[in-house]
């Protein structure tokens, strides 16, 4: 094979490899269609692949179709609210027995995840994280947490009540943040049998009509 042909082939291979690497670094986009409009999320699959794949497994299985945004709260007890939370476990808020996530379609929890110490990400306004099973295992559950302002207590080492792992930031809201703000100001007279969530549950949770990956 002639030398100039080899050079051309090498250049083509480098170009393809460069495009592949660039594509792999792109965020994974997810849309949550709600009654108030669409919320678009950019998931950081590069720095937080475990958390990203965990949420995607529920979305791609159709379990987020019909999920809700149901909680507005401040962990520092100050106003305005720090977070809005939602997902597939609203039904567990009024359980008369010990909550078993499997009863609500959550058959696997995430035992290992990327901490903020590892990723360098922080719980700042516009970022998204995942909640943890604070009632039992401490493992990550498929409930989205939208940060309305900084929540340093959710970062690794920020709150030692459970452990020092914190919660997994794995992306950000890139569209529809105004919808999250609106939800955060909704009336909070929703019922719950979980003591520490009293006064934090929306009277009328926001329905997620459909959730899908772009």
List the chain domain ranges.
25-213
CATH topology of domain 25-213: Cyclophilin (2.40.100)
- What H or E segment, with its residue span, contains residue 183? helix 177-184
Helix (H) and strand (E) counts in the chain: 4, 8
Q: Residue 39 in contact with residue 173, Cβ under 8 Å?
A: yes
**Beta bridge partners of residue 208, listed in sequence order:** 34
Q: Write down the pLDDT at residue 9.
A: 35
Written as one string, the DSSP assignment of 115-140 is -HHHH-----TTEEEEEE-TTTT--E
**Segment-wise mean pLDDT, segments of 10 residues, the chain, 214 residues:** 40 39 76 98 98 98 97 94 97 88 93 95 98 91 97 87 88 98 97 94 98 97
Q: Write down the pLDDT at residue 24.
A: 56
Rounded to the nearest 5°, which phi and psi values hold at 120?
Answer: 80, 0
**Beta bridge partners of residue 31, listed in sequence order:** 40, 212
Q: Write down the pLDDT at residue 25.
A: 80
Q: Give the angle subtended at the CA of 209 by the CAs of 44 and 171, to the nearest 5°.
A: 10
DSSP 185: T
* Longest CA span, the chain: 77
Which two structure tokens, joined as six digits, stand for 162? 């459970």
Name the one residue in this structure whose structure tokens are 């909550």: 99
């Amino acid at each position: 094979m002639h030398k100039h042909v080899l050079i051309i082939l090498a250049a083509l291979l480098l170009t393809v490899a460069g495009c592949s690497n660039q594509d792999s670094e792109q965020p994974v986009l997810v849309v949550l269609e709600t009654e108030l409009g669409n919320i678009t999320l950019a998931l950081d699959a590069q720095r937080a692949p475990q958390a990203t794949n965990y949420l995607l497994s529920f979305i791609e299985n159709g379990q987020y179709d019909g999920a809700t945004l149901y909680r507005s709260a401040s962990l520092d007890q100050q106003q305005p609210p720090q977070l809005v939370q939602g997902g597939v476990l609203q039904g567990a808020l009024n359980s008369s027995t010990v909550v078993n996530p499997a009863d609500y379609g959550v058959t696997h929890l995430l035992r290992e995840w990327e901490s903020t110490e590892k990723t360098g990400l922080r719980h700042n306004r516009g970022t998204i994280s995942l909640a943890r099973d604070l009632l039992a295992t401490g493992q990550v559950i498929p409930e989205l947490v939208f940060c309305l302002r900084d929540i340093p207590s959710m970062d690794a080492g920020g709150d030692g009540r459970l452990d020092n792992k914190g919660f997994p930031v794995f992306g950000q809201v890139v569209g529809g943040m105004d919808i999250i703000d609106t939800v955060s100001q909704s009336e909070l007279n929703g019922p719950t049998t979980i003591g520490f969530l009293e006064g934090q549950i929306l009277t009328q949770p926001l329905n997620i009509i459909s959730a899908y990956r772009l």
